[in-house]
Structures are given as structure tokens and as C-alpha cells.
Amino acid sequence: MFFSESRGKIMRRIFLVLAVLLAGFSVVRIEAGLVSGGVEFGIGGRHSMETAPEPRLIWPVSETLDLTGKDTVEFKWSPFEGKVFKRRFYEFRIYKGREQLAKNIILKKKIAANVSSIVLKTDMFEDAEVYTWALRQAYYDQKSDWAYSAFIVIKKKVL
């Protein structure tokens, strides 16, 4: 009789310890999910609801772009928007005009995640024409909204 009573107490203690441990792990997982902005789905799964922020364009962002006497122009953006470790690449586009339609794309490039500028030849731009450049970043599971800026090209005749 003594043996079975102590065995019962041991089993209850083991059960109690396991219950506390399992409850503790559940609380930690839920708190971690809430802290990182995620949502728990079922056992062991977590889906992030964070969105990739659109990039911040640095240059050119003015109404006009003077390319007089220049062979190249550098388009720059901030590499610090969003989570750098999640970024896979950037998508870069140049449109002729202000409308961002597929038919208006004159240049489309995928750029490495660790690059924050691209240099283009100025001969692709015509004087007095409007162009729009657009950029978005791609994470492993999503893409940001497009950041864009339009400008009018100025190319004065050099005598």
C-alpha cells in the first residue's frame, strides 16, 4: 500500500510539473508572437503580419533633373527602411510619363538587397520629357508598396 501511494504522489507531481512547463511555453510563444507583430496559428506555427515598408527615395526627388553635359545619373535610396535582414532584393523601374503602366516602362531591373543606388546613362532620357522612377523592396514573403518620384529632364544644348 505504501508503494502505490508514493507512486501516485510522484505521478501527480510529474503531471503538475509537465502542466506548468507546457503552460509556460504557450505563454512565452504567444508573448513572442505579440512582441514581434505575429499571429499564432495552431501548434507551432507563426505567420508574420508585418508589412515591408516602402523605400525612401533620396535622389532625384525634385521636379526637374538637369542632365546638361552629364553622361550618367545616379538614382539613390535609403538602405535603412524596413528590416535589412529580411530584404531579398529591390525592384527598380523607369517609366516614360507620370503613369505607372506596363506600356510606359522603359527600364526594369532587379537590384541586390545590399545596393542603394543605380547609375544610368543619360542618353536614355529625352530633353523636356517627364519620367517617373519607382522602387520597392522585396522581403522573403512579401513586397512593399512602390515609392516613386516624377521629374522633367533638362538637357541644354552645349556649344
pLDDT in tens, 85-106: 999 999 999 999 999 999 999 9
Instruction: Catalogue all structural domains in the chain, each as residue range(s) with its CATH number.
Output: 2-48 (no CATH), 57-154 (2.60.40.10)
d(CA 129, CA 154): 8
How many C-alpha atoms does 97 have within 13 Å on its Cβ side?
7
Are 68 and 158 in contact, with CB atoms under 8 Å apart?
Answer: yes
pTM over 0.85? The answer is no
Question: Which pLDDT belongs to residue 21?
Answer: 53
Residue 148 confidence (pLDDT) above 60: yes
Strand partners, 90: 111, 137
Residue 33: which H helix or E strand, with range?
helix 2-35
| Terminal Cα-to-Cα distance of the chain (whole angstroms) | 111
Are 105 and 116 in contact, with CB atoms under 8 Å apart?
Answer: no
Average pLDDT, the chain: 82
> Which position has the higher pLDDT, 38 or 66?
66
Name the percent of the chain lying above pLDDT 90: 64
